Amino acid sequence: MENRQAMNETIVQNLSKFRNPPGFRGRSAFVVQLWWLVQGTLFSWSPQFMYGWRRWLLRLFGAKVGKHVLIRPSVRITYPWKLSIGDYSWVGDFAELYTLAPIQIGHNAVVSQYCYLCTGSHRVDSDTFEIYAKPIIVEDEVWLAAGVFVHPSVTISRGSVVAARSIVRATTAPYGIYAGEPLRRIRNRTVSGSSQ
**In three state form, how does the secondary structure of 159-195 look?**
CCEECCCCEECCCCCCCEEEECCCCEEEEECCCCCCC
Mean pLDDT, residues 41-51 taken together? 98
In-domain check, residue 34: yes
Mean pLDDT, residues 22-47 taken together? 97
Q: Domain total for the chain?
A: 1
Q: What is the pLDDT of residue 26?
A: 96
In angstroms, rounded to a whole number, what is the distance separating the alpha carbons of residues 84 and 36? 18
Q: What are phi and psi of 52, to 5 degrees?
A: -60, -40
Please report, for the domain that includes residue 62, its CATH number.
Answer: 2.160.10.10
3-state SS assignment for residue 106: coil
Q: What is the pLDDT of residue 147?
A: 98
In-domain check, residue 140: yes
Q: What is the pLDDT of residue 179?
A: 98
In-domain check, residue 2: no
Q: What is the pLDDT of residue 191?
A: 82
Do 161 and 175 touch, CB atoms closer than 8 A? Answer: no
Q: What confidence category does residue 166 fall into, taking pLDDT thresholds of 50, 70 and 90?
A: very high
In-domain check, residue 3: no
In-domain check, residue 188: no
Q: How many CB atoms lie within 10 A of CB 9?
A: 7
Task: List pLDDT tens digits, range 94-142.
Answer: 999 999 999 999 999 999 999 999 999 999 999 999 999 999 999 999 9
* Summary count for the chain: helices (H), strands (E): 3, 19
Range of the domain at 75: 27-182
Does position 192 have pLDDT exceeding 90, yes or no?
no
Task: List pLDDT tens digits, range 147-165.
Answer: 999 999 999 999 999 999 9
Which pTM was predicted? 0.92
Does position 7 have pLDDT exceeding 80, yes or no?
no
